[in-house]
Amino acid sequence: MAWWSLAANAGAVHGAPEWMHALASKMQPRYDDRTDAVLLYSDTSVTVISKDKMRTHVREAYRILRPAGREHGNFFVYTSGRKKVTFMRAWCIPVSGQDYEVTEKGVSEQSPLAAAAGVFLDAKRKSMKIPAPDPGSLVGYEYEIEEQPFFLQSKWDFQGFDPVLESHYRLELPADWQVKSSWINHGSIDAVRAGTNTWEWTATDLGAIRRERQMPPLSGVAASMVVSLLPPGGTPEHNAFTSWSDIGQWYTGLVGQRSESSNAIRQEVTALTGSQHDTFAKMHAVAEFVQSQIRYVAIELGIGSWQPNAASDIYTNRYGDCKDKSTLAIAMMKQLGIESYYVIINGRRDAISGNDPAHNGFNHAIMAISLPEDLHDPSLVATLVHPKLGKLLFFDPTDEVTPFGRIRGELQSNYGLLVQRDGGELILLPRQEPALNGIHRQGKMALEEDGTLYGEVAETRIGDRAAEERRRLRTVQTDSDKLKVVEALLSESLGVFKLTASRLDGVANRDHALGINYAFQAPEYGKKTGDMLLVRSRVVGTESSNLLETDEPRRFAIEFDGPSQNSDSFEISLPPGFEVADMALPVDVDFGFASYHSKTELSGSTLRYTRTFEVTDVSVPASKADELKKLYRIIATDERSTVVLKRRVQGQLPPPTPDTGK
């Protein structure tokens, strides 16, 4: 192995502390040309003073290897009303010249308020910028924070997008306290006693998490340790978590009576459902109200980042965040005699797995509705049967573009914490059928002798495919902007075209399919070669991907948005005097996680192309990446395939119509 160091700077002491100079004198391995920086040293020391006070001291140093690694010259720490930074310092040992220190005078503070997105936080960000973090230089920083924790748990994240040479985690506990350590994506590391009720863990030589397209979130693949801090006298009453049930019990205590109704809420439910004659219609009316009439605004100050507001306040103010909207929906469903439960979840699938220890990895709240036994409406598909609670319907009141009865793809096959009165339970949310999500196109085209193609296409979008376009169209105000949306869809498949007509149907109605209809002309779509025309039978729509076209072996699973089923059916009338000389063979492949079928046929003077692409799994393991690559290559070949048309010899009869069995 090749080694290198910058030991020449080790003797200079101008500003950087001794621990950084010691690192500068060490030999480090040489990394490949994709490594921008390496974390040479990380030390996190957590001192638990009481159940209401903790102190954390952090010290880290990076070697900058390439220009992109300069980002480590900027570091920041988040604070809040319950967390404050007591000091921050930073240093740089450059390749040549004197090392220097950035003092607290160089600290800037920002309030990351996202008012435009309806989010207001009491968090502030203190940041430092280390000048000239050029390749070869060593940058380091040190800071300390004091906080009043909401719960007695800590997490050591010791792997990231940069390789790690050495990482330490030290924990000092009061007398009679205990600790329980659990591990995520890494085998257990033995703790070493470092003092009276003080423990230390060390990890070395950790490889970088290489970014891959459509990979799981970092928290779902990187190594970490969850530390549960256990004071004497029990766990839940001290907000110490050793199980998912503990977290659920803690959250139940936070919610308290906040999901209780008020007179105004009861009157609203009566007004919404008074004219409805069945349970489903009443539930739908309540869901529609919370989805559409309660604005998303998150005011997360202090415990407000976890604790919902009272349902009465949410109703009166007509706004709230995800947990608030769920709280109001739970209160309103209760007026219908229907019990509901909070489900705390991460918005990205695989951020939490079923094998993970209990920890705070959640960033979203939805709800589970206990369905009456006699309710069997076919639109209620996001369901599972719970052994104690019966049939549960999952519903996200924050999602304004997904119809009641379904959940979007990123929530499907995703683990969430079902909060019950006596605790919490980690459950796997249901996966919906592929047929409930997709794009279905039907097109009729006419090909001219000069190669110009005239076409009309009707697209029907359902599920997430409709939701993502509805989100985009919500910001579209003018007709010209709507045209741009359709033009963007066409530009993915056609090089040169002119949009001649377009119409959007069902944009505002999430309970119905979204219709996108358009007409176009594409000059030179048919490519002339002597007396022949080459015509691509797949006119619009792309299912192939270059996702896996890389020499690097795949390390992580390939994540899909969710199960889906797309289909195309195009009819192209041929110009007079032309016949088919050659066309592609049918394609029929099924890899289990996805399948693809296509066929080109001739019926009289009409060319017909049909295909279906179905994704049944939400992710493909890395071990099957080569199969997925093969599938995408098969699709790409089919999408590029052309039909060869040749001019008939004068007086020659047209070929007989093939017998297709229809």
Alpha carbon of 107 to those of 61, 110, 130, 267: distances in Å?
18, 10, 10, 53
Q: What percent of the chain has pLDDT over 90?
A: 80
Written as six digits, the tokens of 3 are: 């080694």
Q: Which element (helix H / strand E) includes 480?
A: helix 479-491
34: pLDDT strictly greater than 60: yes
Architecture of the 435-647 domain: Sandwich (2.60)
Q: What's 512's DSSP letter?
A: S
606: pLDDT strictly greater than 50: yes
Q: Write the CB contacts of 554 (distance below 8 Å, at least 6 apart in sequence).
A: 212, 548, 622, 625
Residue-wise DSSP of 298-321 = EEE-GGGGTSPPPHHHHHHHTEE-
Alpha carbon distance 344, 366 (integer Å): 6
Helix, strand or coil, per DSSP, at residue 572? strand
Task: Answer whether 55's CB lies under 8 Å from 144's CB.
Answer: yes
pLDDT of residue 3: 33
Written as six digits, the tokens of 174 are: 């009061």
CATH number of 244-431: 3.10.620.30
Q: Is 160 exposed, middle or buried (0-12, 13-18, 19+ CB in 10 A)?
A: middle
- 3-238 CATH, one of 2.60.40.3140, 3.20.20.70, 1.20.120.1200, 2.40.30.10: 2.60.40.3140
pLDDT of residue 616: 97
Alpha carbon distance 344, 362 (integer Å): 6
Category of 156 on φ-ψ map: left (φ > 0), alpha (ψ -120 to 50) or beta: beta
Alpha carbon distance 597, 227 (integer Å): 50
Alpha carbon distance 510, 438 (integer Å): 14
Q: Residue ranges per domain, the chain?
A: 3-238, 244-431, 435-647
| Terminal Cα-to-Cα distance of the chain (whole angstroms) | 68
Task: Answer whether 428's CB lies under 8 Å from 408's CB.
Answer: no
pLDDT of residue 301: 64
Split at pLDDT 50, 70, 90, the class of 123 is: confident
pLDDT of residue 465: 96
235 compared with 155, residue with greater pLDDT: 155
pLDDT tens-digit series, residues 93-119 = 998 888 999 887 878 887 755 544 556
Residues in the chain: 662
For 498-506, the CB contacts below 8 A with 24+ separation are 498/522, 501/456, 504/473
Alpha carbon distance 120, 370 (integer Å): 33
Of 427, 247, 410, residue with least CA distance to 354: 427
Split at pLDDT 50, 70, 90, the class of 12 is: very low
pLDDT tens-digit series, residues 75-91 = 889 888 889 999 999 99
Average pLDDT over residues 10-20: 68
pLDDT of residue 574: 96
Average pLDDT over residues 180-193: 96
pLDDT of residue 241: 87
Task: Answer whether 296's CB lies under 8 Å from 118's CB.
Answer: yes
pLDDT of residue 8: 33
Alpha carbon distance 657, 602 (integer Å): 7
Name residue, tokens 């529609």.
288
pLDDT tens-digit series, residues 37-55 = 999 999 999 999 999 999 9
Average pLDDT over residues 583-601: 97
